[in-house]
Structure 1
Amino acid sequence: MKKLRARFTAVVGAAAAVVVLATATAHAAPADPHAATLAALRTFQSAAGPGAAVHAGDAAGSWTLSAGTGTINTTKPIQADEAFRVGSQTKTFTAATVLQLVDEGKVSLDKDIDAYLPGTVNGNGYDGTRITVRHLLQHTSGIATYEPLNSLALAEPDGTFQTAKLVREGLKRAPVSAPGAGFTYSNTNYLVLGMLIEKVTGLPVHEAVTRRIVEPLGLTRTVFPAPGNRALPTPAVPGYHGVRVGSFYFWSGVISYDPSVFAAAGAMVSTLTDLSTFYGALTAGKVVSPAALAEMEKVRDLGGAGYGLGILKVNLSCGGAAWGHNGAVPGYFTYTLVTEDGRHASVMTNAYLASNPSADKLSALMDTALCEGRA
């Protein structure tokens, strides 16, 4: 789930089939207008999973390109409406929910977290009276991250995970900086924010996000699974682990795990089309108030990019900027960006490889999809 980084995966060779799927027009989209994006997609997929797909377009319509295969030992293209685990793109949904609570006067960005969750962030050098909601949203709290895949021993007898236990696991590591002093991407921040949402709304975080974001936007293929719900809605893209040895690919299915190990930091399931719709609605002011959106878009400079409150700002080669987030969990590497003028690009691959990092190729693909055909 770490931002733009690859960690681990597993295999049998994937075919190099490429298709163009029309998603918002009456006729099949011609390949030529998207030749550069297709080339970038093939390059990305060559270092990624068995398959990869990009769903992109603008206010006039959308189109989808797929390379490789969504299911090993077949030539099945990935479709824009197929479900997959989105990883840290969940963070933007969580952040938007917190900002709705800010709009309602139930949460203050610059109030300390101890005022809402007394004693939750303390000990081992941590002081919850010095860490604000804004710090948590922007990864400037100084809280170290917990490692989800190193936390499996914390599972309850039924295989689910309690967020409070995962938070305490993160707090076992010393602070990485003083609150507000530096940027350190930490999943622990968003687990605490999930607890905040639950405390203020009186609902489990998966239910709060569903009622406030998913359902009002009509994201019918998006799910924030409850603890214990390990299933992907059909149709879905299987996720894989893998290794690459020269030109050979060896893939195996991801071992089942409970998504509550990621909770508000990365548990959600969605599709390429739904993710594009969500980020487009958010940046158009249809999810939070203009004032709240302005707060979300106040970024911490990361050199060529910036991180706001649960949302990433990326400067484009064709000028201007795009907003969104990326994510990675076992079996999937994903990214969505949108622009103010209605352009959008959402990408996924069905593996997450540490041995062949594909993050740079993914960034190049996103830029190409958003900039192709523009001076």
Structure 2
Amino acid sequence: MAMTRKSRRTRLPAALGLACAAAFALPAPAQATPAADHAETLAALKRFQAAAGPGAGIYAGDSSGSWNLSTGTGILNTDTPVKPTDHYRIGSQTKSFTAATVLQLVDQKKISLDTPIEQYLPGVVDGNGYDGNTITVRQLLQHTSGIPAYEPLLDSPSANPDGSYALDALVRQALKHPPASQPGAWRYSNANYLILGLLIEKTTGTSVDKAITERIIQPLGLTGTSFPAPGDRSLPTPAVHGYNGVRVGPFFFWTDVISYDPSLFSTAGAVISTQQDVTTFYQALAAGKIVSPTTLADMEKTVVVGAPGSPLAYGLGLIRHTLPCGGAAWGHDGGVPGYYTETLVTDDGRHAAVVTNADLATNPPVNQMYTLLDKALCEKRS
């Protein structure tokens, strides 16, 4: 159960940027407002947590300020609320960081979206039915490359002696599976973003964790966010404790997540952040503070995900979710061992970041998650 899966998306019928990013203001700290002010959101949070992990929290608000709610516990056998400054592994929300880095390189004329990946990474996407001359950078970003779903946790290559995983080895392992389709059809695959990690390394001449840190994390002042280097299994404190588990009706069973090396997920899901930080990132991205307006417009060109009428569509590393109160929100979800998360922001300053401390691979609470996000983004104060 590595990152956000295709099933999660189809179950519901969702000057350059660096110079601007450094000046982007952090959102206001969460305020301790009475729960009664957010009664519908709190009720939705409780329903979500009842189908999710031991605890859950939401950090939300609008252009005038932010607030947060928590239910359950961030650490079993304690009364520990989930706080907006707690660290957790954001899973596939990492893909938005990866996409933003690629799009900065597009702004700098070092990469072209419609150039075949073979021209940048000769021989990498080749053989076993693949032809890198027919798959573009844009298609990798949008999951329309034809590469099938890939779960590193279930199908990993051999680890390095220190237990970490080489990015190129992950890509080779993923491409042992033949294409699922010709390029053009939407199919969510972590492999696309692992290949994009190699593209970032080849283009920048540095490791991908360093490239994303220097281009995105540091300029935005995201002090609670990190892209762990291979071999770094630590989680900064304070942290939401992650668990594995199952729920059957009202019954559940939780076990601590066994330590794993985040390099297993790399540019598809390795980033650590907080609700406040990841909100700042998506707000900066949506406001055109990380990439140019032209490139942002490319990111926001979407394909519908799921059945006709689905509220979800996918751009270049961004999910577009149509809100029941009108308009749309942008962001991404993610799941890695121990965590299920999502963050959405709107153009008018509304935002909502959700985390629960378990990733229920067999029955993720997708509907409850989106109901919660809709309540927070559309709520009217009582």
TM-score by length of 1: 0.92
Q: State the Cα distance separating 1:28 from its structure 2 match.
A: 2.9
Q: In the alignment, is the contact (CA less than 8 A) between 2:6 and 2:187 conserved in 1?
A: no
Q: In the alignment, is the contact (CA less than 8 A) between 1:84 and 1:232 conserved in 2?
A: yes
CA–CA separation in structure 2 for the residues paired with 1:352 and 1:91: 18
Code of the aligned partner of 2:231 = G
Judged with a 3 Å threshold, the aligned counterparts in structure 2 of structure 1 residues 153 and 104 are, in CA distance, closer, same or farther, namely closer
User: 1:231: which partner in 2?
Assistant: 234
1:152-191 to 2 correspondences below 5 Å: 152=156, 154-180=158-184, 182-191=185-194
Q: In the alignment, is the contact (CA less than 8 A) between 1:55 and 1:62 conserved in 2?
A: yes
Q: State the Cα distance separating 1:146 from its structure 2 match.
A: 2.5
CA–CA separation in structure 1 for the residues paired with 2:113 and 2:206: 20
Alpha-carbon RMSD across the aligned residues, in angstroms, is: 1.5
Code of the aligned partner of 2:4 = K
Q: In the alignment, is the contact (CA less than 8 A) between 2:87 and 2:273 conserved in 1?
A: yes
Q: In the alignment, is the contact (CA less than 8 A) between 1:4 and 1:326 conserved in 2?
A: no
1:198-209 to 2 correspondences below 5 Å: 198-209=201-212
CA–CA separation in structure 2 for the residues paired with 1:25 and 1:213: 21
Q: State the Cα distance separating 1:151 from its structure 2 match.
A: 3.0
User: 1:336: which partner in 2?
Assistant: 343
TM-superposition CA deviations, 1:217-267 (whole Å, max 9, x none)? 000000000000000011111100112344333211000110000010000
CA–CA separation in structure 2 for the residues paired with 1:310 and 1:354: 22
Q: State the Cα distance separating 1:154 from its structure 2 match.
A: 1.8
Q: In the alignment, is the contact (CA less than 8 A) between 1:146 and 1:166 conserved in 2?
A: no
TM-superposition CA deviations, 1:155-184 (whole Å, max 9, x none)? 11210101111111111111111112x000
Q: Given the alignment of the two structures, is residue 48 of structure 1 paired with residue 52 of structure 2, yes or no?
A: yes
Q: Given the alignment of the two structures, is residue 149 of structure 1 paired with residue 148 of structure 2, yes or no?
A: no
CA–CA separation in structure 2 for the residues paired with 1:66 and 1:362: 14
Of residues 234-243 and 192-201 in structure 1, the stretch that sits farther from structure 2 once superposed is 234-243
TM-superposition CA deviations, 1:41-84 (whole Å, max 9, x none)? 00000000000000000110000100000000011101100000
Q: Which residue, 319, 342, 348 being the options, matches 2:326?
A: 319
Judged with a 3 Å threshold, the aligned counterparts in structure 2 of structure 1 residues 278 and 26 are, in CA distance, closer, same or farther, namely closer
Q: In the alignment, is the contact (CA less than 8 A) between 1:151 and 1:166 conserved in 2?
A: no
Q: State the Cα distance separating 1:26 from its structure 2 match.
A: 9.2
Instruction: Name the SS of the counterpart of 2:134 in structure 1.
Output: coil
User: 1:9: which partner in 2?
Assistant: none
Q: Which residue, 65, 68, 75 being the options, matches 2:72?
A: 68
Judged with a 3 Å threshold, the aligned counterparts in structure 2 of structure 1 residues 319 and 76 are, in CA distance, closer, same or farther, namely same
Code of the aligned partner of 1:98 = V
Q: In the alignment, is the contact (CA less than 8 A) between 2:35 and 2:69 conserved in 1?
A: no
User: 2:278: which partner in 1?
Assistant: 275
Q: Given the alignment of the two structures, is residue 215 of structure 1 paired with residue 232 of structure 2, yes or no?
A: no
User: 1:2: which partner in 2?
Assistant: 4
User: 1:16: which partner in 2?
Assistant: none
Q: Any runs of at least 4 consecutive aligned residues in structure 1 with deviations exceeding 6 A, and if so which?
A: none
TM-superposition CA deviations, 1:197-234 (whole Å, max 9, x none)? 00000010000000000000000000000000000011
Q: State the Cα distance separating 1:112 from its structure 2 match.
A: 0.5
Judged with a 3 Å threshold, the aligned counterparts in structure 2 of structure 1 residues 4 and 47 are, in CA distance, closer, same or farther, namely farther
Instruction: Name the SS of the counterpart of 1:148 in structure 2.
Output: coil
User: 2:316: which partner in 1?
Assistant: 309
Instruction: Name the SS of the counterpart of 1:322 in structure 2.
Output: strand
Code of the aligned partner of 1:352 = D
User: 2:17: which partner in 1?
Assistant: none
CA–CA separation in structure 1 for the residues paired with 2:207 and 2:175: 22
Code of the aligned partner of 2:62 = D
Q: State the Cα distance separating 1:301 from its structure 2 match.
A: 1.6
1:6-17 to 2 correspondences below 5 Å: none
Q: Percentage identity across aligned positions?
A: 61
Q: In the alignment, is the contact (CA less than 8 A) between 2:149 and 2:189 conserved in 1?
A: yes
Q: Which runs of 5+ in 1 are unaligned?
A: 7-22
How many residues of Structure 1 are paired with residues of Structure 2 in the alignment? 357
